[in-house]
Amino acid sequence: MKMTKGKVMMAVGFICIIGAMAFVVRNYIESRNAGDLADSYMTLVEQQIPDHDDGIAIPKEGEMPAIDVDGNSFIGIVSIPALDISLPIQRDWSSQNAKISPCRYKGSVYENNLIVAGHNYDRHFGRLKNLVSGDTVIITDVNGLSFYYTVTYTEIIDSYGVDLMDQGDWDLTVFTCTIGGSSRVTVRCEFTGKVVVSDQNLFN
């Protein structure tokens, strides 16, 4: 009887190990595919962003314009040099959209209240937790205007406290869920006042 029980325990342990390995492999494949998909859309979005001279006006309010790429709407690009990522931002948040790239959760870059959400894939927002105060985040709209922000604060918000996302006077917030989805890694940023177009500073 003891031998039988021991074999059962070994079998259960083996099944758990196989299950864990399958979970890791599945996550790796999903992350890789999501990164490749975001890269392909990134190229197409960049191709539609125009070049401008210094005469372009900077909107002071309003929704961010969007461009259509293969049936998906994008409002721009988020770039985080410290993490070596640049990703297209979709206009509307949904779990399905986030499998392609980060999405606008709410707000507008022109009104200093943009919130961008993304999945925790390694090549999406999976490394947000590594950002520190002083790191740079850049939001480029579809008109080619790049707005520069500085990371000032990182917090962990419970999954039931998502309504806290837009509380506080933050110019930009980017966030993702932790592994398991029990909480949200939330990075708060301040606008530096720097806006760039065609490699020329409009304001600094």
Residues known to be catalytic: 119, 177
| Residues 188 and 173 sit within 8 Å (Cβ to Cβ) | yes
12 is written with which tokens? 């259960």
DSSP-derived secondary structure for 155-186 = EEEEGGGGGGGG-S--SEEEEEEPTTSSEEEE
| Residues 51 and 140 sit within 8 Å (Cβ to Cβ) | no
Describe the chain by its helix, strand, coil percentages, rounded to 5: 35, 35, 30
Q: What long-range pairs does 26-34 form, CB within 8 A, spacing at least 24?
A: 30/121, 31/121, 31/122, 31/123, 31/124, 31/126, 32/123, 34/99, 34/100, 34/119, 34/121, 34/123, 34/124
